[in-house]
Every structure is written in C-alpha cells, then in structure tokens.
Amino acid sequence: MCRTYKAGTHLIYKLLRIEQLEERRMLAVITVDSLLDNTTNDGLITVREAIIAANHDAIADATEGGQSGDGADTIEFAVTGTIAIDSQLPTITEAITITGPGQDLLTIDAGDGDDGEFATGDGWRIFQMFDGNTTSEFDVVLSGLTLTGGDTPRGIDDSPQINGQGGGAIGSLENLTVIESTITGNATGDGGNSTAPFGIGGTGGHGAGIFAAYGNLVVITSTITGNQTGANGTGGLQDGRGGQGAGIAAFGIDVVVTDSVISGNHTLGHSAYGGGLSNAYGNTTITGSTISGNTTEGDFSTGGGIAARFVTLLVTGSVINNNSTAGNGAGGGGIFTRTFADQGTVNVTNTTISGNRVDQDEGGGILTQSDPIHIVASTITGNTARINRGSGIATFSGSVSTVKLYGSIVAGNTNEDLAVLNATINAFDSQGYNIVGTGNDLGASGNASDAFNAPGDQTGVTNPQLGLLADNGGP
C-alpha cells in the first residue's frame, strides 16, 4: 500500500509501514469493600484478596468480577473501620500502592496474637514485602492507615530458630514509603533460650514498628508510637542481644523521616540499641520531626531516641526530647552515634535536644564516637547523666572523636554540660558564637569548656534563660 504526495509538479510515492508499539501495561485499581478477612467468593473484596490479586494479576473475587492489571497496582478502600486479621497478610511480591481513607478512618489490627495480649510473642506481623530477590527492589507505598496489634513470634529454645522474629507491624526488604499513617502498639518476639553449656541466647526481634533492609525506607507525616522489641534470650555461655529499633530498625539502607513523630517506643535487653530508631551501615536523614519519650532498657543499650552506627546521620529542624536509657554502659539518652570519617558524617542543625536522661552512664543529650560531628544552631539543655559524664554532650578523646559546634547552646544541663571521657585530649572544637556551661576536668589540658574561645563564644553559663519547650509558631 502506498500514499501519493504532490511536490511542485512531481508526484512522490511513499510506502506506509506498520510500526510495533512498545509494550503497555494496564495498571489496575482494586477497591476493597469489606472489613472481613477472608478469601471466599462472596461478591466482596477483602484486603487479603486484593493483595493476592495484585501479586498474581488475578481476579480478586470471582463473583465480584474485579481484576488486577499487569503492573504496579493500587489498592484503595471503600470502607472505614477496623479490619481484624487472624494471620499475616500475604507477602507483597511486586510493586504496589495501598491507599487507605485516612489513619483515623481505617485500622488493620493483628489482634496481639492468639492470646490477645501485648508483646507475648504468639502472633504475626501485618505486612511483609519481599520477592526473594536481594539484588533489586520494587516500590511499595502505604498511606492513610493505622497498623496495630502485630506480635511476631519469640525464638524457639535450643533450636536454629532461636532468634525472635522482627518487623512487628511491617517487615520490608523492598523500597518502602509510609505516608500519613500511624504504626502503634506492635511488638516483636523475645530471643529464645539456649540451655547448652556453650550455648548463646537468641536475639530479640528488631523493628517492632518497621523492620527494613535491602530496600530504602521513607516515612512522611506519620506517627510511630508505643511499639516494643523483644528482649534477649539467655545462654549457657552467653546471653543474646535485645531487639534493636523499637520504632524503626534499619540495616544497610537509607532512611528518611520527614515531618513525623517517633514516640513512646521501647527496647528491652542487652545491647538493644535505638529506642525510637536504629540504623546501622546506612544513612539516616531526619527533618522536621519529633523523637520523644522513647526508651532503651538493658546493659549497653545505647541511644534512647536514636542510635546511628557507621552511618551518615543528618538531623535538621527537629526535636529530640524526653528519651532515656537504663542499664550499665547504656549511654546517649537522646542520640548515640558511632561513625568515623570514612563511614559518613553526623550533622545536627537547628534542632532542640532536651529532657533526655541516662540513668547509669554518659551522654544525656548526645553520646558520640563520631569523627567529626557538626552541631549548628542547636540547643542542648535540660538533659541528665552521671556526674562528670556529660549531661549535655559526652564524647571521647580528640584522637577518636571531634565535636564541632557553631552558634549553639549547650548549657543548663544537670551536672556538667560537656565531657570528654577517659582522656586528656579535648575533643570539642568551637566554630564560634556558642553559649556553653561547664565541662569536666581534663587534667593537664583543662576543662572541656576551655575549647570555646572563638569569636562570640560565652562560657560558664549555668542558666541560659531558656523557656519551656513549646510550639512557638514558625515553619
């Protein structure tokens, strides 16, 4: 077949060709219209049926006739109320967006397991995302939901499954974004016990709110509150470790928390880092958020609010307050960092760190083993630690860690405001315009506060004349 064109007095003949279009995937919206938890053909679509349909590009309910597409589907809800699930929802195995009507309108409740009691290790998580491939990740978005009642199993004594299961509400090994949602009242299982003479106890489950690895995690305008990780199991030779990150536990990934609240979460057991948030070997960015009232309880359980180890930590425009640690060697009531120059940096900017407490050790506001840590335009006040252990900021020798401050207030903390631990080399480096209180005695090198002699510095300020922490408007 040809088409004729006339150009001037000449006729031009051009053959028509049929071109193959690129493959198109029809994305589907699957609407959940039932608060039940079943997979029966009853003309209604449950959230369990919707996830199965999205995973397999199948019909959600044969009698209803709905069908998913062949790509990143969306699950929406035409119902409000509570969906009570009696087992974990199907593992999500491909990209999906699950959009609830609002965190105050729809709750998915795992019921605290078989016995209906909080944190007894006899239940299941709510969502899991993993396709079996750890070399690439797909995207999952959850929004407008409340997730509660997750209670993952405890470890089994004297068995290969001795560790408690993580991810009380969510266990994600993919890229996960949580928007305008609440994750509350979830728990992970304790580690099991080893009765063998040389046995090592199990580890408590990590991430009672969210456990995330391999894929990155983004939390926006959400609340993660009242979650609890499992304690360590006992062993004939050595006890295990408590679960890390009661609110969020992340390993080797980037975590971004924006305009959110992480509060009232609790870790239990030996070395149970990060009552609110724990990230190891990844990067953490916290912006415009509140980390408040989180606790760790157990020897060497550092970082009541945040524990960031071997990562870049960026905290901007946030409030870290009323967090605590309890236990021998459990420092860093507000923040604990351990990051060296070849692993990342720590920056705290325009942030208030107040009312945090360490019951038995050091670093009421911040305990840092990072080189360097930058604190800019921030206020660190009203925090508590043991005497000479740095109620405001505690760090280690300047050969190990350097704390650089500019335009910040570190004053009005219980006992001394600054401490360099177990060393005579001052680790504080003033960049100017700071207001500081007192420092611990460093022997021949003087006090920790002696480093503050740059332009605009004021030292020995015991009462910085600060009002109570409040919402005073502004962006």
Q: 3-state SS of the chain: helix, strand, coil percent to 5?
A: 5, 35, 60
**Are 267 and 230 a contacting pair, CB within 8 Å?**
no
Torsion of CA 402, 433, 385, 282, to 10 degrees: -50
pLDDT of residue 69: 55
* 401, two tokens: 């860690």
DSSP summary character for residue 439: B
CA-wise closest residue to 131 among 91, 75, 165: 91
CB 363 within 8 A of CB 333: yes
Residue 128 phi, psi dihedral angles, 5° rounding? -135, 140
- Write out 212-228 in H/E/C secondary structure: EECCCEEEECCEEECCE
Residues with Cβ within 8 Å of residue 102, at least 6 apart in sequence:
144, 180
Give the list of residues 6+ apart from residue 142 with CB closer than 8 angstroms, or none.
98, 100, 127, 170, 176, 177, 178, 179, 181
Supply the pLDDT for residue 215.
Answer: 95
Task: Tell me if 374 sits within 8 A of 351, measured CB to CB.
Answer: no
In angstroms, the CA 321 to CA 262 distance is 11
CA distance 83 to 34: 8
DSSP string, 104-147: TTEEEE-TTTTTT-TT-S-S--SEEE--S-SSS--EEEEES-EE
Please state whether 377 falls in left (phi above 0), alpha (psi between -120 and 50) or beta. left
pLDDT score for 448: 83
Sheet holding 393-395, edge to edge: 127-129, 170-172, 210-213, 248-251, 277-280, 306-309, 335-338, 366-368, 393-395, 418-420
Residue 334 CA to residue 172 CA, distance in Å, equals: 26
Per-residue pLDDT of the chain (475 residues; tens, 9 = 90+): 454 444 444 444 444 444 554 444 456 899 999 999 999 989 999 999 999 999 987 777 655 555 555 678 999 999 999 999 999 999 999 999 999 999 999 999 999 999 999 999 999 999 999 999 989 999 999 999 999 999 999 999 999 999 999 999 999 999 999 999 999 999 999 999 999 999 999 999 999 999 999 999 999 999 999 999 999 999 999 999 999 999 999 999 999 999 999 999 999 999 999 999 999 999 999 999 999 999 999 999 999 999 999 889 999 999 999 999 999 999 999 999 998 767 788 999 999 999 999 998 899 999 998 888 999 999 999 999 998 899 999 998 755 678 999 999 999 999 899 999 877 788 899 999 999 998 887 765 678 888 899 999 999 998 887 766 555 554 4
